[in-house]
Structure 1
Amino acid sequence: MNLWQGATWLLWLALLLRFFPRELVFKLKSDTGYQHLWLSSIVVTALLWSVQAGIEPGLELHLLGITTLVLCHGWRIAWLIGSLAIFFLVAVGKTSLADAGSTALLTVMLPALFSYLIFALSYQYLPRHLFIYIFVAGFANAALTITFKMTLTALWFHWQGHYSWSSIYQNYLQLALLIWFAEALLNGMAITLMSVYRPHWLRTFYDNEYLSPDR
């Protein structure tokens, strides 16, 4: 483990401790339904991230699902769920222990904050309508978030000197044109189904605002 890998580990753990969602413990103890949702989110995220494909080591592609986690749980709990999924990837050999810190920052923490920012901006400045929530906070948000994540990863690997920018662009960034729609569709469909059939699973969805008849 080099200096920068150690620094990303320390930053990851420091952020987890600083912003740990203390209300989560009580909620898990008191709400059986949320226990199932929380555990299911961890399992689905871990399995989703374990299906990877790529040309260069470290520049693998996989669907992210961070936008759905953020809209369901909020960014702090999404951080925790994503971090547990990272530990799963380390356990099955998909990610090295040394790279776990940088992977968590680039795959979980910064994309989750970015995704929440997109939601917050749409909530603040756009009409609070069901279709705005689904297509902007869900569909478009997911597409932008995975593009943001891939850009961060590309910059990190280039800065670390692992690959030339030409190699990163040709073997990684160009593939964003293929994966952004799949990511948007996955999250958009999940948000659509939950907003219709399980709106109480969405922490950021407010029936009295998004479904109000005068909007």
Structure 2
Amino acid sequence: MNLTASTLPFWLNLTLNGFFILTVFLAITHLPWRELKHDASLQHRLGFTILVLVLIWSLRAGVSEGLGIHFFLMTGVHLMFGWSFAILLVALVQCGLIVFGVESVWALGINGISSGVIPILVTFYCWKASERGGVYNPFVFIFGVAFAGAMLAILMSAVFVSVIFLLTGLYDVAQLRYEFWAYLPLIALPEGIINGMLIAAMIVFKPHWVRLFDEKKYYGTK
């Protein structure tokens, strides 16, 4: 989701920006800096991912005043890099959009949370639920975590955005139902398919690139 900061109250933008900055700081403190410094392949994958996300997040459809929708791809990003790298990527992509004039500085928090933090949290808990279930099958990882997790991420982000709109009085329930929620199936299903296909390809050809995919558990390797 993408919200225009100018449609929101100043106090709300300030609060969300502060929360997002704290989240980024927390992620930075948990980054494996030694691995990042010495792994050139990881550096290249991160750089390429930033470019792809800047492009994808720049392509958005405006469905209502102050609100646009776009693909997240954060489920696949989180599964590939882990939560700390994923949060950092969200921050860097948001900064890139600001530099290119696509976003405003005040939109850093609201869009970083709705398009990044919430999808990452949803994916994390989908992955944890899969781990607790103990069913280590690659198809469970693809369909239960990547595919379903990506769709659920869209829905939970939509709930967050809807609450913001209702609390600020920008839209009422009827407007959200017909001007926002009616379009969600058009992006939720493709989001699930794209992330599912991405992770499926990765765990087949480059499983070691998917940080949250344990080859020993899912493939029975030693």
1:11 aligned partner: 19
SS at match of 1:189: helix
8 Å contact kept, 2:20–2:113: yes
- Is structure 2 residue 48 aligned with structure 1 residue 40? yes
% identical aligned pairs:
26
1:132 aligned partner: 140
SS at match of 2:171: coil
1:110 aligned partner: 118
Q: Distance in 2 between matches of 1:186 and 1:23?
A: 27
- What is the deviation of 1:142? 0.8
- Is structure 2 residue 177 aligned with structure 1 residue 177? no
1:55 maps to a residue whose letter is V
Q: Distance in 1 between matches of 2:76 and 2:96?
A: 19
8 Å contact kept, 1:134–1:192: yes
- What is the deviation of 1:119? 0.9
Counterparts in 2 of 1:153 and 1:78: CA distance versus 1, 3 Å: same
Q: Distance in 2 between matches of 1:33 and 1:19?
A: 21
Give the number of the structure whose residues are more often strand, by fraction.
Answer: 2
Q: Distance in 2 between matches of 1:83 and 1:23?
A: 14
What is the root-mean-square deviation in Å for CA atoms of aligned residues? 1.6
Q: Distance in 2 between matches of 1:19 and 1:29?
A: 16
- What is the deviation of 1:170? 1.0
- What is the deviation of 1:23? 3.8
- Is structure 2 residue 92 aligned with structure 1 residue 91? no
8 Å contact kept, 1:126–1:132: no
1:189 aligned partner: 197
Specify which of 179, 199, 202 is matched with residue 210 of structure 2: 202
8 Å contact kept, 1:21–1:77: no
SS at match of 1:54: strand
- What is the deviation of 1:89? 2.1
In structure 2, runs of 5+ residues without a counterpart are 1-8
- Is structure 2 residue 158 aligned with structure 1 residue 150? yes
- What is the deviation of 1:24? 3.6
1:185 maps to a residue whose letter is I
Aligned residues: 213
Tell me the TM-score normalised to structure 2 length.
0.90
**Structure 1 residues 19-28 or 165-174, which shifts more?**
19-28
8 Å contact kept, 1:79–1:108: yes
In structure 1, runs of 5+ residues without a counterpart are none
**Structure 1 residues 189-198 or 51-60, which shifts more?**
51-60
Specify which of 87, 90, 100 is matched with residue 82 of structure 1: 90
**Structure 1 residues 10-19 or 28-37, which shifts more?**
10-19
Tell me the TM-score normalised to structure 1 length.
0.93
Q: Distance in 2 between matches of 1:175 and 1:126?
A: 35
Output one character per residue of 1:25-66: Cα deviation in whole Å (capped at 9) or x when no partner: 322220111111111111111111111002213321111111
